[in-house]
Amino acid sequence: MTAPAARPRRRTPSSRPATRAPRPPAAAPTGVFRPHVRGFGFVDLDEPVTTPDGTTVSSCFVPPPMTKGLLADDRVEVAYEVEQDGRATASAATLVERVRTEVFGVVEEGLVLRLDPHLGSGRWTLTGRIEDLPVGAAVLADITGPSTADPSDEWDDPVAADALLERVRVRHRLPTGYPPEVLAEVAAVADGKARRSATRRDLRTLTTFTIDSPSSRDLDDALSVYPADADGGIRVCVHIADVAAHVRPGTAIDAEARRAATSVYLPGWTRPMLPAQLSEDALSLVPDADRDALTVEMRIATDGSVTAADVYATRIRSNTRLSYEAAAEALAGHAPAEVPPDVLDALRWLRTAGARLGVQRLRRGGVEARRVEPELTVEVVEGEAAMVAAYASNPANLLIERLMVAANEAVAGWLVDRGLPGIFRVHPAPGPEAAPALEAFCAASGFHPGFGATLTPLDLAALSAQLDAAADDTATAVWDVLLGFLGRASYVPTAGDHFGLASAGYLHFTSPIRRYADLAVHRVIHAFLAGGRDVASFPDAAETAALCRHINAAARTASQAENQMRKSLWMAQLAAAARDTVYPARVTGVGPKGVFVTLDRSRVSGMVSTRELPGHGWSMTPDGLGFSSASGGRLGYGDTVSVRITSADVESGQLELAIAKAAGDEAKGETAPRARTPRKRAPRKAAPSA
């Protein structure tokens, strides 16, 4: 998908010099401003500062009056005082450098712009031709001064899908296009010859195919398989688009790909890491086209162990493209017409290989991509919010997930065995608070996992099996809470444990069109295959560590943008619903001021503060898993409740709830975005915790 067509109004150049204010004394520490939607903010210092009494300060609280005129990501210098509790409060915050060129907000009386609260607080002066701007309109504006901006586009409805998309895009500084120097190189890369290797093997005669969702255009993995040998071993070839052979370091395309670090997928909009001419055409493993690839070949024994693995450069040709649905139907004995006999036979051998890998995964524990999806989700269809029917992963999704995880593990081991550097993926075990909290949630939801003092990968596998068998809304809620406790994996320069996959060594190799981490790994492999044995042939430790930090930040930004866009679409509908609407929900978190509740249908979360709970005298229970009242009432993890909305702020994303007084009102349920015939959305290929 491409960016939504803009309605140009008075677009002005957005590459003005950064606004700079007078500097405080040189000794003042510097950092990056991070606003809070409630008007205050924080400055995250570039380097922690240790005070004379030994207190380490890494972040300063900025009170509301001082945040006026500051934007998210501004570089500032601060003076601060350290409170008795060790927290630092800014006494001055001065703008040093502004990295943003655009702001987004809503027009108010006096033709001023109320900023998106995720960008900053206060009102900005609008300049230029603004007399025809309607109050209440959403506006995209180019920054012209410390607190002035010139409108460049507008939307009459600030909660329309396209306005919400632009709001989220500006929040996270996601560009819609590519720099001119990048576009100038695209044609040459698309038409030019790849890096040739004397050892590149010609595998174009192998039966090869891709399996992806119908909407995918950046096809970066394909499969081939050899039937079982005399000992029962099955050789599987996972072919990955050889992006590194075409996109070279030092080019503008590589610099932009490194900056972006990942493709971004929002409802209604995609921003590929590489321009579409490359990601969807020249480098994509489309059918009936010769393509360069890096192939990992694995021999999978009868017990599911990978007894041998190698990586080499190849030339392949995909015979056909299958959707997950077509592949699943074929494996179920209902082969669609688009599945040729040789592809069907290969699919069946791959199913055997995947089943063997599944046996090993069960032995070691962890979770697989079989989580239950909500029945409906909200997407952007033709520029408007619409309900989309989602469904759980089918056997083809599970097959691909197992093969890709195995390929990623095989490449990680291949690098480690040769003493090569890499960008590895690690996932720490959850903290000691996770087991009792998740146990309480599961018990309230009808499951008894019986965890010990700490969670183990085998605990996760056993719980996952129960959730897969249930496959209902309750199981979906448990999955959401489980993944929240597991947290995010991250990129690091050295191999380590991946708790969610129960893997001792894992990395990302299979999506170099979409992720820069994979592309960096491919370059290490190419250097080795080309004969590089000297340490100078590979990135040094400091460079790799810096790249890992950058990719982690970019991946976090992409995830936040996607989550915020989906929540915004739901919040717009919830804000428009009748105030007496009652929603079935479940308690999914406990905080010092109340409980966090997730609505069943939308999966949107909000807070019920203790002041909104019925009765009086509510206080947190000794185990920290809920609240109890003076009259003996209790509310905590996993409890089902009926709630009504007291405040739904689409701009900030803040949802405040209260326990509904009448349980019988549950029948009113949640409303959905405007009625349409539901469309199907296939689940993503990636494993939930990978």
Q: What is the pLDDT of residue 23?
A: 36
Q: Note whether 152 and 232 are same-domain residues.
A: no
Q: What is the pLDDT of residue 50?
A: 87
In a domain, 312, yes or no: yes
Domain C-terminal end among 130, 145, 171: 171
In a domain, 441, yes or no: no
In a domain, 19, yes or no: no
Q: Note whether 592 and 619 are same-domain residues.
A: yes
Domain of residue 601: give its range: 578-670
C-alpha torsion sign, points 102, 104, 106, 108: negative
In a domain, 529, yes or no: yes
In a domain, 277, yes or no: yes
Closest of 283, 278, 272 to residue 221, by C-alpha? 283
- Give how many domains the chain has, as a whole number: 3
What are φ and ψ of residue 75, in 5° steps?
-90, 130
Beta carbons of 626 and 635 less than 8 angstroms apart: yes
Q: Residues 531-541: what's their mean pLDDT? A: 91
- pLDDT (tens digit, 9 = 90+) per residue, 37-96? 999 999 999 999 988 888 899 999 999 999 999 999 999 999 999 988 888 999 999 999
Helices 180-191 and 252-260, packing angle to 10 deg: 110
Q: What is the pLDDT of residue 190?
A: 87
Domain C-terminal end among 112, 145, 171: 171
The answer for residues whose C-beta is within 8 angstroms of residue 386's C-beta and 6 or more apart is 378, 379, 380, 673, 674, 676, 679
CA 363 to chain centre: 29
Domain C-terminal end among 151, 171, 191: 171
- pLDDT (tens digit, 9 = 90+) per residue, 628-651? 999 888 999 889 999 999 999 999
Q: What is the pLDDT of residue 196?
A: 53
Q: Please tell me the total number of residues recorded for the chain in this structure.
A: 690
Q: Note whether 65 and 197 are same-domain residues.
A: no
What stretch of H or E contains 167?
Answer: helix 161-171
- pLDDT (tens digit, 9 = 90+) per residue, 425-456? 999 999 888 888 889 889 888 899 999 888 99
- pLDDT (tens digit, 9 = 90+) per residue, 225-272? 999 999 999 999 999 999 999 999 999 999 999 999 999 999 989 999
Q: Note whether 199 and 70 are same-domain residues.
A: no
Q: What is the pLDDT of residue 193?
A: 64
- pLDDT (tens digit, 9 = 90+) per residue, 16-42? 334 333 334 345 899 999 999 999 999
- pLDDT (tens digit, 9 = 90+) per residue, 572-623? 989 999 988 999 999 998 999 999 999 988 889 999 999 888 888 999 999 8
SS3 string, 21-52, reads CCCCCCCCCEEEEEECCCCCEEEEEEEEEECC
- Whole-number average pLDDT of the chain: 88
Q: What is the pLDDT of residue 394?
A: 87
- pLDDT (tens digit, 9 = 90+) per residue, 130-155? 888 999 999 999 999 999 999 999 99
- pLDDT (tens digit, 9 = 90+) per residue, 358-405? 999 999 999 886 555 556 677 787 778 877 766 667 899 999 999 999
Q: Note whether 254 and 122 are same-domain residues.
A: no
* Pairwise CA distance, residues 449 & 464, whole Å: 10
In a domain, 164, yes or no: yes
In this predicted structure, the answer to whether residue 663 has a pLDDT above a threshold of 90 is no
Q: Note whether 189 and 278 are same-domain residues.
A: yes
Structure tokens at 567: 């929540």
% of the chain surpassing 70 pLDDT: 89
- pLDDT (tens digit, 9 = 90+) per residue, 365-377? 998 865 555 566 7
Q: Note whether 522 and 394 are same-domain residues.
A: yes
In a domain, 511, yes or no: yes
In a domain, 12, yes or no: no
Beta carbons of 71 and 120 less than 8 angstroms apart: yes
Q: What is the pLDDT of residue 5?
A: 41
Q: Note whether 359 and 492 are same-domain residues.
A: yes
Q: Which CATH number does the domain housing residue 588 bear? A: 2.40.50.140
Q: What is the pLDDT of residue 506?
A: 98
3-class DSSP assignment, residue 145: strand
Q: Note whether 83 and 118 are same-domain residues.
A: yes
Beta carbons of 422 and 524 less than 8 angstroms apart: yes
More confident residue, 199 or 322: 322
Q: Note whether 518 and 609 are same-domain residues.
A: no
Q: Note whether 185 and 157 are same-domain residues.
A: no
Q: Note whether 241 and 365 are same-domain residues.
A: yes
